[in-house]
Amino acid sequence: MTSKVVVQPSPADPVLNRAEELDALDAILPIDRRDQLATLLTDEDVATLKYLAKEGMGANTLRALASDLGYLEAWCELATGSALPWPAPESLLLKFVAHHLWDPVERAEDSSHGIPAEVEIGLRAKGLLRVEGPHAPDTVRRRLTSWSILTRWRGLSGSFSAPSLKAALRLAVRASARPRRRKSKKAVTGDVLAKLLATCDGERLVDLRDRALLLTAFASGGRRRSEVADLRVEDLVDEEPVHDDPRNPTSPLLSCLTVHLDRTKTTTAEDQAHVVLIGRPVVALKRWIEEARIESGPLFRRIDQWGNIDRRALTPQSVNLILKSRCKLAGLDAEMFSAHGLRSGYLTEAANRGIPLQEAMQQSLHKSVTQAASYYNNAERKNGRAARLIL
């Protein structure tokens, strides 16, 4: 009888070694993403990411940098046959723009226009390319920015400010004509939120968690999924109860919490950004904390099928999946909603209720009045008389 020989990975296996090195970032990189990045990144890349984590770079920023770096390494290998050079020459930056922002009409007539077929096939095989057609301009700009940041952190200077790159990017964006897509096709407004909360009426831990998560994310100004995932018990500060109607001192008292946000997309830890929760969201949060027996650390955590609560925080992707699963339970089309719908839904609901824009922005922490006002403009058009001249 022939015995089966099992070959164990050699300790010298560079991919295995990188995976072990990336274990230090397990709170930032989900295990499936960590293993994929181990095959894409170089030893120097991993050392850079670990250094940035040690220097205190925000988890969301580091996660995005790691993802973009993995994509850039894979793209460069497929496009040039070589590893990503540091610093990247101007010609490689221009090639990146040409491969990702192109004219679909021109490509239909000339197959050599845009990303080469073999590069596209290779990226799809690695699960790194899912979109059809040219990339979104914002995605290309973000990856170029990540590339620039990582170049600077290596003590090098690149050609990211070169006039030729700026001109190529501007012309390519115009030629690609890719329409800007909403992050959530539909907003999670008050009526939609009510349907989602109705699916969380049970007493299971998962129901208590999801009810607290949805109410907190919406009522705190439509927090981004990464901000919800990053919340910790230590971020919550009890405040004195407030009156239901601030103008009526005899109105019922409601529980009140201040939520401190370490970092957001538009603020840093030094900004000491915070929002206020009042009433039902506070009750739901405290009930979840009490039943889950969470005394410190991550606020929203994974719960396995047996009801055991993990010590680690939910990932931003998990927040999105929770919302979509509740949409399905509520009989809604989950494809039409994403976690960002809570953010757009908060401002839309505020506009529908006649809350002044500046007051809503104090809670949503939008820095751009133009962006926040777009939700108000849509509400005003729908509720106004100008669109009702002929009915």
Annotate 208-271 with DSSP letters as a single string.
HHHHHHHHHHHHTTS--HHHHHH-BGGGEEEEEEEESSTT-TTSPEEEEEEEE-S--SS--GGG
Q: What is the largest CA-CA distance in the chain?
A: 88
Percent of the chain with pLDDT over 90: 46
The segment(s) of the chain belonging to CATH 1.10.443.10 are 190-385
Q: Give the CA dihedral 100, 102, 108, 111, nearest 10 degrees.
A: -60
Per-residue pLDDT tens digits for 105-120 = 788 888 888 899 999 9
The amino acid that residue 231 corresponds to is L
pLDDT band of residue 386 (cuts 50, 70, 90) is low
285 phi and psi, to 5 degrees?
A: -65, -45
Q: Does residue 376 surpass a pLDDT of 80?
A: no
pLDDT at 61 exceeding the cut of 90 = no
User: Do the Cβ atoms of 263 and 364 come closer than 8 Å?
Assistant: no
CA atoms within 13 A on the CB side of 271: 13
Instruction: Tell whether pTM > 0.85.
Output: no
**Alpha-carbon dihedral sign for residues 180, 173, 140, 266:** negative
User: Any idea what the Cα angle at residue 205 is, between residues 201 and 208, rounded to 5°?
Assistant: 45
Kindly state which CATH superfamily the domain 190-385 is placed in: Intergrase catalytic core (1.10.443.10)
CA nearest neighbour of 27 among 50, 1, 45: 50
> How far from each other are the two terminal CA atoms of the chain, in whole angstroms?
86
Backbone angles phi, psi at 59, to 5 degrees: -60, -40
Q: Residue 2 — very low, low, confident or very high, per pLDDT cuts 50/70/90? A: very low
Closest CA to 213 of 199, 266, 165, 12: 199
Tell me the average pLDDT across 58-73.
86
**Tokens in use for 332?**
């809604």
* Strand 309-313, strand 236-243: pairing: unpaired
What is the structure's pLDDT at 3? 41
Question: Is the pLDDT assigned to residue 92 strictly greater than 80?
Answer: yes
3-class secondary-structure state, position 308 = coil
Q: How do 274-278 and 301-303 pair as beta strands?
A: unpaired
Distance CA 145, CA 128 (A): 18
pLDDT confidence of residue 51: 81
Helix (H, G, I), strand (E, B) or coil at 309: strand
With contact defined as beta carbons under 8 Å apart, do 225 and 282 qualify?
no
DSSP 167: H
For the stretch 262-306, pLDDT in tens is 755 555 544 578 899 999 999 999 999 999 999 999 999 999 888
Contact 156, 86 (CB under 8 A): yes
Beta-ladder partners of 170:
none
> pLDDT grade, residue 373 (50/70/90)?
confident
pLDDT of residue 147: 94
